[in-house]
Amino acid sequence: MKRILLAGAVLLTMAATAQQTETLDTVVLDTKIPLARKNSGKVITKITSEQLAARPGASVADVLNEVSGIEINGARSNDGQNLAYYVRGGRNRQVVIMVDGVQLNDPSQIANDYDLRLIPANSIEEIEVLKGASSVLYGSGAATAVINITTKKTSDKDISATFTSTFGSNRPTETDSKDSKFETFTNNVNVSGTLNKFFYNANFSNRYTEGLSAVAAPADSTAFESDVFDRFNTRLNLGYKITDSITISQFVSIDKFKADFDNFDYTDANNLSKTEQIKTGGHFEWKYKNGTYVFNDSYQWIDREIMSDFPTKFESKSYSLDTYLNHRFTKQFQAVLGLNVNLSEFNSFAIPFGETAFAEQVHGDTANFDIIDPYLNLVYITDFGLNLNAGARVNIHSVYDTNVVYHINPSYNIDFGSNTVKILGSYSTAYITPSLFQLYDPQFGNTELMPEDNRTIEGGVEFSRGKNFRVSAVYFNRNEENFVDFVTIDPENFIFQYKNIADTFESSGVEVEVFGKIIEQLTASANYTNTKADERFALRIPEHKANASLTYTWNNKTNIGLSYQYVGERDDSFFNPTTFESETITLESFSLLNFNISGQITKNIKLFAGVSNILDTEYEEIYRFQTRGRNVLAGFELSF
């Protein structure tokens, strides 16, 4: 333990004494208005295309797992493992996932959450992360975080193409590293271009992994069969620049994956989960003298099938629209007036006991709701350092009464020379409606459920030295009322149901981030998170978590990186089939060390390689589930 803390402290100290050149000096997510970072009242994390390129073979969940305040549980396991989004002591339904400015969700999921396993990292230009209650701008569910993923930009050339291929091992620590073989393959092709006013972008991606079982075999038995994950993604975006100030585009995408999984009693099985998604939508943007008008929408069809001893099928449809006008009244005062719409429905099917054919359990005519929310957000930037971001939203839900959420987010800058100290604070509320599954599932649903209410208070300070160095510390306190929980109604007859809990639950913590430059070629970054989650919801959430990285650039052509992650002790629970009760167990802390290198060999060829979990640390991310040991990867990128 002392070695782990010492290694983390060394890297934090290196970063804290650094002077890094930062390119992350403009943020949008917290106001929908492009602002200089110093004028934002939040600490926004931006993951750039350069940072993504430095992590070849990493998934979206892997990258997000290095952001302060976030724990994506399941990202270190088999690629097909279900992902849990633990942010500031919250759960999946309290995180909003957006792609290109449009909120995505799956109405058939228990938490109405969107599955990050559907998104290939190779198709991403950048990721912005906003933490804290943000329902004013992003609607129901934005209680702990908003994650906005921006897809790759279109080339300015007539035609440009990039082909990337990565291959690597995928072994657990229980096997001999000498027996490693290539069992992970990722390929991506991107073709884009601009022809006068017309532009296009086409992307194809595939990821295939095996070698890792979902559930770890007991020490006294033979290894379980490896479980395969296989994903395909295609996306086409076509656009036209009508004038210098008006742009319109439309996209269509098909995403699907198959994931093997084992039984929940920790036995090996040939279970299979299949998800297929068709998505289409558009973007319209008009820039005029004093502002911008934006229209984004997305229509999704998602089919899921679970092939196991309890086979089920789900079909869901959802339409999301976000349109807003950003108008600048004066140099100091701007406003965003918008309308957010979400229409959702789902069908579910199961095989009744004693029968062999699927029968419909839930129909979309019953399991549906509409959300139509107008919102207003104001931004005021003074000449004497005070900045104010405040707004409100009216939640108009087809099932529930009208509700109002609001936020106020002041900050104050103190400039001295090239240095700036920013003091920030915020008070924000969030509103989370029960999912369609929680309302209408015939076995566990409850139509009497009420929405959850969340409140978040933040306070912090950020110090920056021009564009060269930045360090921030933020304290947060979040409470939730009317929490929707899965409770036991009749244990003897195994009757369970979703219910609102009368208690108020509280989570709090501290997030520290540091970016810097040690010498001209060596940069460093680090973060630390302390999360004190309410005991009822603390499962799998570490109280202490730290990340650090070093990157050395040689001759502007070769990058060498070293990253470190420490995850503290967590409690987990498991169902004991002997006692028919849930039991709690403590999972030990662990640390991971990773290495990567990439180099531009010629103008068109880039090579890269890496080693993950260098020390071959054996650990559990989820009780009795397998995790990755030391693995190697290599690959290349061809660009034309």
CB 129 within 8 A of CB 70: yes
CB 377 within 8 A of CB 404: no
Query: Which SS3 state, helix, strand or coil, does residue 46 take?
Result: strand
E strand residue ranges, 357-494:
359-362, 368-381, 386-397, 403-416, 419-432, 452-465, 469-481, 483-490
CB 147 within 8 A of CB 64: yes
Banded pLDDT at 4 (limits 50, 70, 90): very low
Per residue in 215-262, pLDDT (tens digit) is 999 887 888 999 999 999 999 999 999 999 999 999 999 999 999 999
Above 80 in pLDDT, residue 116? yes
Across 453-487, b (16+ Cβ under 10 Å) vs e yields bbbbbbebbbebbeeebbbbbbebebebbbbbeee
Banded pLDDT at 574 (limits 50, 70, 90): confident
Query: Which SS3 state, helix, strand or coil, does residue 212 take?
Result: coil
- Quote the pLDDT of residue 494: 75
Number of domains in the chain: 1
> Is the sign of the CA dihedral 173, 177, 181, 182 positive or negative?
positive
- In sequence order, which ranges of 200-298 are alpha helices (DSSP H)? none
- Quote the pLDDT of residue 613: 96
Q: Please work out, in degrees rounded to the nearest 5, the angle formed at the alpha carbon of residue 465 by the alpha carbons of 464 and 468.
A: 105
Helix (H) or strand (E) holding 224: none
CB 479 within 8 A of CB 503: no
Quick count: other Cβ atoms within 10 Å of Cβ 166?
22
The answer for 122, left when phi > 0, alpha when psi is -120 to 50, beta otherwise, is alpha
- Cα 322 to Cα 98, 100, 318, 374, distances in angstroms: 11, 11, 13, 10
Banded pLDDT at 264 (limits 50, 70, 90): confident
376-380, 405-409, 434-438, 581-585: segment of lowest average pLDDT: 581-585
33-42, 194-203, 405-414: segment of lowest average pLDDT: 33-42
Collect all residues with Cβ–Cβ distance below 8 Å to 321 and sequence separation of at least 6: 102, 295, 296, 297, 339, 340, 341, 342
351-355, 449-453, 460-464: segment of lowest average pLDDT: 351-355
Quick count: other Cβ atoms within 10 Å of Cβ 628?
26
The rounded distance, in Å, linking the Cα atoms of 605 and 66 is 28
Across 283-294, b (16+ Cβ under 10 Å) vs e yields bbebeeeebbbb
- Cα 111 to Cα 158, 252, 523, 572, distances in angstroms: 43, 25, 39, 20
Above 70 in pLDDT, residue 330? yes
The rounded distance, in Å, linking the Cα atoms of 137 and 455 is 15
Per residue in 135-168, pLDDT (tens digit) is 999 998 999 999 999 999 999 999 999 999 999 9
Per residue in 37-86, pLDDT (tens digit) is 889 999 889 998 888 888 888 999 999 999 999 999 999 999 999 999 99
- Cα 249 to Cα 203, 246, 297, 622, distances in angstroms: 16, 10, 11, 42
Comparison of pLDDT for 209 and 178, the residue scoring more = 209
Which residues does residue 529 pair with via DSSP β-bridges, in sequence order? 511, 545
Percent of the chain at pLDDT > 70 equals 96
Tokens of 154: 């279109």
Per residue in 161-176, pLDDT (tens digit) is 999 999 999 999 888 7
Which residues does residue 483 pair with via DSSP β-bridges, in sequence order? 501
DSSP β-ladder status, 26-27 and 35-36: antiparallel
Tokens of 516: 């810097």
- Domain holding 199, by residue range, is 2-639
Start-to-end CA span in the chain (Å): 48
Above 70 in pLDDT, residue 17? no
**Owner of token pair 């019953």:** 366
Above 60 in pLDDT, residue 1? no
Closest to 280 measured CA to CA, from 97, 99, 159: 99
- Quote the pLDDT of residue 12: 39
Above 60 in pLDDT, residue 3? no
- Quote the pLDDT of residue 14: 36
Banded pLDDT at 301 (limits 50, 70, 90): very high
Measured in degrees and rounded to the nearest 5, phi and psi for residue 535 equal: -55, -35
Q: What is the mean pLDDT of the chain?
A: 92
Kindly report the CATH number assigned to the domain that includes residue 371: 2.40.170.20
Above 90 in pLDDT, residue 126? yes
- Quote the pLDDT of residue 15: 36
CB 597 within 8 A of CB 559: yes
Tokens of 18: 């650094």
- Quote the pLDDT of residue 223: 85
pTM over 0.85: yes
Q: What is the DSSP letter of 42?
A: S
- Quote the pLDDT of residue 439: 96
The rounded distance, in Å, linking the Cα atoms of 112 and 436 is 7
Closest to 129 measured CA to CA, from 527, 422, 542, 532: 527
Above 60 in pLDDT, residue 598? yes
Query: For 331-339, what is the mean pLDDT?
Result: 97
Above 60 in pLDDT, residue 11? no
Above 70 in pLDDT, residue 593? yes
